[in-house]
C-alpha cells in the first residue's frame, strides 16, 4: 500500500500568522521584465518570447524537465503570445546612465 502525504504551502502565512496571508504569495512585478533575461528560477530560458510561449503552452513542448504542474495550456496563438511580449516590453523604463564614484569626495 502506497502512502501519500499532501503538503500545504501556507505562503506568506509562514512570515506572519495572519489569516488573510494563508496561501497568499507575493507576486513579482513585470516592470523591466524584458531586461531580466534569462528567465525562470534556473535561467533555462534565454528570451521573453520563449518564456511566455512556454507558459502559454502549459509548460509542454519545450523540452523542459520538472515544469510546474500548476501551469495550464491557454488557448492563445503565437501572434497573441507576441502581443503579450510586446506589452511586457512596453513596461520597461528607459536606461539611465549612472556614474558610480570610485572614491570618496575630498
Q: Answer whether residue 59 is part of any domain.
A: yes
pLDDT score recorded for residue 42: 80
The dihedral through the CA atoms of 34, 37, 38, 41 has a sign that is negative
3-state secondary structure of 45: strand
Q: Which tens digit of pLDDT belongs to each residue from 67-78?
A: 667 778 899 999
Q: Answer whether residue 104 is part of any domain.
A: no
Do 49 and 66 form a contact (C-beta atoms < 8 A)?
no
Dist CA 56 CA 73 (whole Å): 6
pLDDT score recorded for residue 46: 93
Q: Answer whether residue 52 is part of any domain.
A: yes
More confident residue, 24 or 59: 24
Q: Answer whether residue 85 is part of any domain.
A: yes
Number of domains into which the chain is organized: 1
Q: Answer whether residue 46 is part of any domain.
A: yes
Closest CA to 41 of 50, 29, 51: 51
User: Which whole number is the average pLDDT over 1-17?
Assistant: 75
Q: Which domain holds residue 45?
A: 27-89
Q: Answer whether residue 4 is part of any domain.
A: no
Amino acid at each position: 500500500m502506497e502512502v501519500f502525504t499532501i503538503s500545504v504551502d501556507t505562503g506568506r502565512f509562514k512570515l506572519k500568522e495572519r489569516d488573510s496571508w494563508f496561501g497568499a504569495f507575493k507576486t513579482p512585478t513585470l516592470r523591466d521584465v524584458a531586461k531580466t533575461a534569462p528567465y525562470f528560477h534556473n535561467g533555462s530560458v534565454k528570451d521573453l518570447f520563449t518564456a511566455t510561449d512556454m507558459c502559454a503552452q502549459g509548460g509542454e513542448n519545450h523540452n523542459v524537465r520538472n515544469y510546474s504542474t500548476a501551469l495550464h495550456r491557454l488557448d492563445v496563438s503565437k501572434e497573441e503570445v507576441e502581443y503579450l511580449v510586446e506589452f511586457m516590453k512596453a513596461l520597461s523604463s528607459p536606461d539611465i546612465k549612472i556614474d558610480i564614484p570610485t572614491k570618496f569626495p575630498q
